[in-house]
Amino acid sequence: GSEATVVVTGGAGFIGSHTVELLLQRGYRVRVLDNFSTGHRHNLPNSENLEIFADDIRDHEALRTALRGATACLHLAAQVSVQCSIEAPAESATHNVVGLINVLDAAADQKVPRVVYASSAAVYGDPQQLPLTETAATVPISPYGLDKLVDEQYARLFMRLHPLSTMGLRYFNVYGPRQDPRSPYSGVISKFLDVVARGESPKIYGDGLQTRDFVYVQDIAAANVAALESRETGVLNVASGNAVDLLSVVDTLAALTGRPITPRHYPPRDGDIRDSRADITQLRTRLGMCPQWALADGLRQLLPQP
Ligand code: UD2
């Protein structure tokens, strides 16, 4: 819709910038609110339909201004490092919990009817049964996971208190262009590509047989837009629905580059879970979304193009 305006908090970041691009392609006006602590202006395109607010989600007044007259808000801004959340849990919660409360509060105040926000597979903690359905037990094992679980409860509460519809998206292991490989919270795939590009050996913590549900950022962007356009509420897994172990990721990379890659093994990382995989039935039925990117296709996009 050409007159529809979407506010994207954290819009200059990894997932945010891909979603902003897609929203602009679909004809939306977009306002990015980002404090640029980890986001970058160069992640964003130049467009007359894009406005940038260099503000923090902990600033009420800035949020109200950005949300004035908007049709919907996609809230992605967060402190996304699990490790940082363990080292500084109170600081994490000011971004991840108080930040979301501020967004919901400003949306209610400005009568913005729809808020979609980033939750995480981290709400499940160490999975007891796979694949994970949305009704699985939520027992977070990090302050980050608990922040996101509390976010889901605030979103549900705000729907009772205000005429507001919300949806939380539980992202699994997201990878793709613009995920900074040097940052502490970057995912394993970005790290592998970075070292392989420099001709070094990827590090594997443990035996490499741990599995993850890797989902390409383009699929995440598509899910974000579908959720903004939907009236469904509650929470939803956003993933590929497939589990892949790290040795297979290395094998796929070797096949794509045509060069052998020998990983170096290190002791398992503290607090790691062994396996993760989402049931994405609800993503299909409630959002009509079907992930498009197989792992090999996503990895190919990340390699230097011939
Ligand atoms: C993901 C999310 C995190 C949180 C968590 C909840 C990412 C980037 N992080 O953490 O935000 O939601 O899920 O469960 O999506 N590994 C290596 N070598 C490396 C880097 C990692 O072997 O150089 C291993 C690591 O020990 C782990 C696996 O790869 O077993 C995946 O690690 P990750 O940091 O990409 O993601 P994860 O699942 O710990």
Q: Are 298 and 176 in contact (CB under 8 A)?
A: yes
Q: Which of the 8 DSSP states describes residue 12?
A: T
- Are 85 and 228 found together in one domain? yes
Binding site membership of 108 for ligand 1 (Cβ less than 6 Å): no
- Are 129 and 207 found together in one domain? no
What would the pLDDT profile of 265-305 be if each residue is shown by its tens digit? 999 999 999 999 999 999 999 999 999 999 999 999 999 87
- Name the domain count of the chain: 2
- Are 71 and 95 found together in one domain? yes
Phi, psi (degrees; rounded to nearest 5) at 236: -150, 135
What would the pLDDT profile of 104-115 be if each residue is shown by its tens digit? 999 999 999 999
Ligand 1 centroid from CA 259, angstroms? 25
- Are 39 and 145 found together in one domain? yes
Residue 182 domain boundaries: 175-211+243-276+295-302
Binding site membership of 244 for ligand 1 (Cβ less than 6 Å): no
Ligand 1 centroid from CA 269, angstroms? 9
Ligand 1 centroid from CA 187, angstroms? 5
| Active-site residue (options: 117, 124, 144, 154) | 144
2 pLDDT exceeds 80? no
- Are 180 and 227 found together in one domain? no
Instruction: Return the residue whose CA atom lies nearest to atom 28 of ligand 1.
Output: 188
What would the pLDDT profile of 189-209 be if each residue is shown by its tens digit? 999 999 999 999 999 999 999
Instruction: Return the residue whose CA atom lies nearest to atom 17 of ligand 1.
Output: 204
What would the pLDDT profile of 60-94 be if each residue is shown by its tens digit? 999 999 999 999 999 999 999 999 999 999 999 99
Q: Give the CATH number, domain containing residue 254.
A: 3.90.25.10
- Are 262 and 191 found together in one domain? yes
Report d(CA 90, CA 86) in Å as an integer.
9
Ligand 1 centroid from CA 73, angstroms? 28
Report d(CA 40, CA 224) in Å as an integer.
20
Please identify, by atom number, the ligand 1 atom nearest to the C-alpha of residue 210. Answer: 30
118 pLDDT exceeds 60? yes
Q: Is the ipTM of this complex over 0.95?
A: yes
Tokens of 289: 């979304």
End-to-end Cα separation, the chain, in angstroms? 37
Look at residues 14, 287, 18, 44 and name the one whose alpha carbon lies nearest to residue 168: 287
- Are 162 and 248 found together in one domain? no
- Are 127 and 92 found together in one domain? yes
What would the pLDDT profile of 124-173 be if each residue is shown by its tens digit? 999 999 999 999 999 999 999 999 999 999 999 999 999 999 999 999 99
Report d(CA 130, CA 127) in Å as an integer.
7
Binding site membership of 239 for ligand 1 (Cβ less than 6 Å): no
Report d(CA 306, CA 303) in Å as an integer.
9
- Are 197 and 232 found together in one domain? no
Binding site membership of 190 for ligand 1 (Cβ less than 6 Å): no
Q: Give the CATH number, domain containing residue 128.
A: 3.40.50.720
Total residue length of the chain: 306
Give 151's contacts (C-beta < 8 A, 6+ positions apart). Answer: 96, 97, 100, 117, 119, 168
Phi, psi (degrees; rounded to nearest 5) at 14: -60, -65
- Are 81 and 228 found together in one domain? yes
Give 204's contacts (C-beta < 8 A, 6+ positions apart). Answer: 246, 247, 250, 263, 264, 265, 266
Ligand 1 centroid from CA 285, angstroms? 28
Report d(CA 269, CA 281) in Å as an integer.
31
- Are 118 and 262 found together in one domain? no
144 in catalytic set: yes
- Are 85 and 191 found together in one domain? no
* Amino acid identity for residue 208 in this structure: G
Binding site membership of 210 for ligand 1 (Cβ less than 6 Å): yes
Q: Which of 80, 146, 173 to probe ligand 1 with, by most ligand atoms within 8 A of CB?
A: 173
Look at residues 45, 46, 42, 39 and name the one whose alpha carbon lies nearest to residue 11: 39
